[in-house]
Chain A
Amino acid sequence: MNNQRRTVLKSGSGAALLGVLAAAGIITPGMALADWNKAAFDAKSMADTLKALGVSGTTDSKDVQVTGPDIAENGAVVPVGVASTLPNISMVAILIEKNPNALAASFVLPEGTEANVQTRVKMGQTSNIYALVKSDGKFFMATKEIKVTLGGCGG
């Protein structure tokens, strides 16, 4: 089985989904400082989450890096990080496609704060993790698949 190819296929379908979302043009910006974005955190699918975050059209970018283990033995504590070299990044979000609610955390970065955050998240099952970054008013994404070992064997 060619794992690389499978990953590409998956991320390909994700991008198509985003395209549809952008084309629909029913997106309103909703990120307000110090006001928890309930709609975004309650959203179940990736598409609904992005809509609630006010994201209109994303581009896959090599300049956004998602870091994390290839295989997580314990889905309750999965270290993930997002870093990017893109200019003027004002927002970073971490989304986990197959969790009950896709959005795990979002960060607003004022000027002077580097686009480099690390945290730990829970994952219910093997899933793609998406890093969403807002640079110069445009949205960029990157993805990484993390496999979660559910059994306790650590295999």
Chain B
Amino acid sequence: MGNPMKIRAANKDGVTEVKVLVSHEMETGQRKDSAGAIVPAWFITELVAKHGDKVVLTSEFGPSVSKNPYLAFKFKGGAKGEKVTVSWKDNKGDSRTDEAAIN
């Protein structure tokens, strides 16, 4: 399941800025361990952000997104107290969803 994401959503002048910090290894599949064996790739492939029921961002990641991925984006609308939900899926089929209220 992974660790919880840190999500901050703040509304200013009718635009909500969302910042997400995901806890994930994002292993590229290029690295070798001390024994010389390749460390298998393990990374987030999809991340979807919703405001209420409306999708506000769909992203696809490759392994070259940094470990513990950070993402910031803005959408129009959103009011204080409303929910922003972020879900991710990785290449091993693991997934996680967290939500935060807009400030």
Chain A residues with a Cβ under 8 A of chain B: 33-34, 36-37, 41, 76-79, 81, 96, 99-101, 103-110, 112-114, 116-123
Q: Top 9 closest A-B pairs, CB basis?
A: A120-B66, A108-B58, A118-B72, A41-B62, A114-B74, A113-B75, A36-B45, A104-B64, A112-B76
Name 17 interchain pairs, CB-CB below 8 A, sorted by A: A36-B45, A36-B46, A37-B60, A76-B66, A77-B66, A81-B72, A100-B30, A101-B64, A104-B64, A105-B59, A105-B65, A107-B59, A110-B57, A119-B72, A120-B69, A121-B66, A122-B28
0/1 interface trace, chain B 57-92, chain A, CB 8 Å (1 if under): 111111111110111111111000000000000000
Main secondary structure of the interface of B (DSSP, over half): strand
Residue B55 lies at the interface, judged by CB distance under 8 Å to chain A: yes
Could you tell me which B residues sit within 8 Å of A by CB distance?
15, 26, 28, 30, 45-46, 48, 54-67, 69-77
Q: Smallest CB-CB separation from A75: which chain B residue?
A: B66
Q: Shortest distance in angstroms between A149's beta carbon and chain B's nearest beta carbon? A: 16
Known: A108-B57, A110-B55, A112-B76. A99 touches B71 (CB 8 A): no
A113 with B48: CB separation less than 8 A: no
Contact between B15 and A114, CB atoms less than 8 A apart = yes
